[in-house]
Amino acid sequence: MTFPDWGRFYGFTKESPPWPLLIRAAALASNGGQALDLGAGAGRDTRYLLEQGFQVTAVDAEPHAVALLATLPPDHLQVVQSSFADFPFAFATYDLINAQFSLPFMPRDRFTTVFVRLKAALARGGVFAGQFFGVHDEYNNTERVMTFLTRAEAEDLLSDLEVIEFAEEDADGHKADGSPKHWHVFHILARRPSA
Ligand SMILES: C[S@@+](CC[C@H](N)C(=O)[O-])C[C@H]1O[C@@H](n2cnc3c(N)ncnc32)[C@H](O)[C@@H]1O
């Protein structure tokens, strides 16, 4: 099995409810606004954002994810097959940017550039919800080309945003398939300042 086996992950998550962090973020953003779902996967959060009245752009590099996202109600939804690095982030556009468990799968040399573009794509007062992975995460080994941050590095990336929630999880848990994994995750809810 290659890592990550996204097809298997989509099988486990396509009927999953939206992430609670995304629900809290959506409650802070204006309904009917523009939302960007980065690494939308099988569409659990994209579906919720559409139900809440957002205009949604759902981005994923995987053709399998794009096929699943294309089965969602098409009104108010644009599905884009793209890597985060190649996605043309439009400046000051989105009322909500959601990236649940997706950004850390980028290599480190792209991570900061993409996150700077992501922040610039938030409208004033726009909300970001997503995760960074910490250095104690079980996936942090040399075989995996991903990004793992110290708490100070994570905080530094958020220094120009208003941080609403910043929760560090460093604990044994489970993956989507139920197998055990040590997670080190920073769960982030933050807002671009209005002025
Ligand atoms: C762990 S899944 C999370 C999916 C969804 N957000 C969820 O929580 O169920 C990560 C998703 O990000 C996508 N992804 C990972 N790295 C990416 C990249 N560099 N560019 C675009 N998509 C990427 C994968 O294809 C996958 O669908």
Ligand 1: centre distance to CA 36 (Å): 13
**Ligand 1 pocket check for 102: Cβ under 6 Å:** yes
**Ligand 1 pocket check for 62: Cβ under 6 Å:** yes
Sketch the domain layout of the chain as residue ranges: 6-191
What pLDDT digit, counting tens, does each position of 170-180 carry? 999 999 999 99
What pLDDT digit, counting tens, does each position of 63-115 carry? 999 999 999 999 999 999 999 999 999 999 999 999 999 999 999 999 999 99
**Distances from the Cα of 59 to the Cα of 40, 63, 136, 151, 153, angstroms:** 6, 11, 28, 27, 26
Q: Which residue has the higher pLDDT, 12 or 2?
A: 12
Ligand 1: centre distance to CA 195 (Å): 32
Kindly indicate the confidence band of residue 1, based on its pLDDT and cuts at 50, 70 and 90.
Answer: very low
**Distances from the Cα of 154 to the Cα of 123, 160, 182, angstroms:** 21, 12, 19
For the beta carbon of residue 109, count every other beta carbon within 10 angstroms: 10
Tell me which of 3.20.20.70, 2.40.10.120, 3.40.50.150, 3.30.360.10 is the CATH number of domain 6-191. Answer: 3.40.50.150
- For residue 32, what pLDDT is reported? 80
Q: What is the pTM of this model?
A: 0.97
Nearest protein Cα to ligand 1, atom 20: 83
